[in-house]
Structure 1
C-alpha cells in the first residue's frame, strides 16, 4: 500500500499527497509539540515537514515504509530547528532565563559565573556541544539524543563524560574564585 502512495507522490499526484498529509499530520504535530514544548513552533515545523515531503517526493523510496520516511524528515526538521534556536540565543544571551548558579547575595558573581559558563561551552567541539545542549539544556534522554543524531547511546555517554571533564577543568577556577569572593563578603 505504501509503495503505491510513494509512486503516486513521486509522479506528482496531489491527491496522494493530500491523503498522506491527512494520515500523518496529527502524528507529526504531536511529536513536534512534545519536542518543542510550543504548539506554534510545532505547527510551523509540521508544515515544513510536509513541504519537504512534497518538494523531495522524487527521493522517496518505495521499499521503505512511508511512516519511517516522514519521521526521518521530521527529525531532520526538528534538529535544524534546534540548531537555529541555539544560534538565535547565541548560547544564553538572556541571563534572566538561567538559574542562579553562583553564591547567593552577589549579582556580580552570578553574572560572572554565567559568562564563564558561556565561554566554557564555546570551547567544546561542535558535536560534543550539541550533545551537551540536547541533554542538559533541552532535557533529552540518551536514547532520544542517539536517535536524533544517528549515533549510539554509548557515544552519547562518552561525549557527555568528555564534555563534563572539559567543562569542569575550565570552570574550576571560576568556581573557586566565586567561593572565595562569597567567603570574603561574608567576613565583611
Structure 2
C-alpha cells in the first residue's frame, strides 16, 4: 500500500468504521482502554493487508472478523478476570434515580444472560441487537447461510428469554 489513492481509500474506510469497530470490541471486552487498543490493532492489520482486500465485497465483515479474533485472543490472555459484553452508561437526565438504578440492574441481568449463552448464540445476539447488522451482513460475517442466521437468532432469543425467566423465578 502506498499510492495516494489507496491512502485516501483506507482513510475513508477508517472514518466509516472506526467507531463501529470500537463499540464491537468494547462489547466483547468491556474495557474502553482495551477496546481502543483493539481498534488500533484492527486497523493496523487492515492497513498491512489492505492490498489483499476484495473491494467488490463489503468491508465490515472483514473488519469484524479481525475484531472478533483479537477480542477472543485478548479474553483468553486475561486469566482470572471477566471479559464480557458491556453496554454504554446511562446518560444523566431527568429520569428518577430509582428508574436509573432499575435500568442499570436490568442491563446487567441482560448482559449476564447474553454472556452465558454458547458462543454461536452470543455472537448472533451481539451482531443483531448491538451492532445492528442485517441478516445478509450476519451471513457474510459468520460465513453461514442466511437461513442458518435466522434459525440461530431465533434459538438464541429463545434461550435468552428462558435464562432471564429462570433467573426471575428464583
Q: Is it true that 1:169 corresponds to 2:162 in the alignment? A: yes
Describe how 1:6-85 pairs up with structure 2 within 5 A.
17-19=1-3, 21-22=6-7, 24-26=9-11, 28-29=13-14, 31-33=16-18, 35-36=20-21, 45-53=42-50, 67-68=55-56, 75-82=61-68, 84=71
Provide the aligned length of Structure 1 versus Structure 2.
Answer: 143
CA-based RMSD of the aligned residues comes to 4.1
TM-score normalised by the chain length of structure 2? 0.59
Larger Rg computed on CA atoms: 1
Cα distance change of structure 1 residues 108 and 78 upon mapping to structure 2, 3 Å threshold: closer
What is the CA distance between 1:51 and its match in structure 2?
1.1
Structure 2 equivalent of residue 180 of structure 1: none
Q: Aligned partners of 2:12, 2:99: CA distance in 1, in Å?
A: 47
What is the CA distance between 1:145 and its match in structure 2?
1.1
Q: Aligned partners of 1:171, 1:147: CA distance in 2, in Å?
A: 30
Describe how 1:47-126 pairs up with structure 2 within 5 A.
47-53=44-50, 67-68=55-56, 75-82=61-68, 84=71, 90-92=84-86, 96-97=89-90, 105=98, 109-126=102-119
- After superposition, the C-alpha distances for 1:109-162 in whole angstroms (9 at most, x for unaligned) are 444433321221122110211111011011111111111221121111111100
Q: Aligned partners of 1:37, 1:95: CA distance in 2, in Å?
A: 12
What is the CA distance between 1:105 and its match in structure 2?
3.9
**What secondary structure does 1:135 align onto?**
helix
What is the CA distance between 1:44 and its match in structure 2?
6.9
TM-score normalised by the chain length of structure 1? 0.54
Considering Cα pairs closer than 8 Å and 6+ residues apart, tell me whether 1 or 2 has the greater RCO: 2
Q: Which structure 1 residue ranges, 5 or more long, are not aligned?
A: 1-16, 55-59, 99-103, 178-188
Cα distance change of structure 1 residues 22 and 82 upon mapping to structure 2, 3 Å threshold: same
Cα distance change of structure 1 residues 109 and 175 upon mapping to structure 2, 3 Å threshold: farther
Q: Which structure 2 residue ranges, 5 or more long, are not aligned?
A: 24-35, 76-81, 92-96
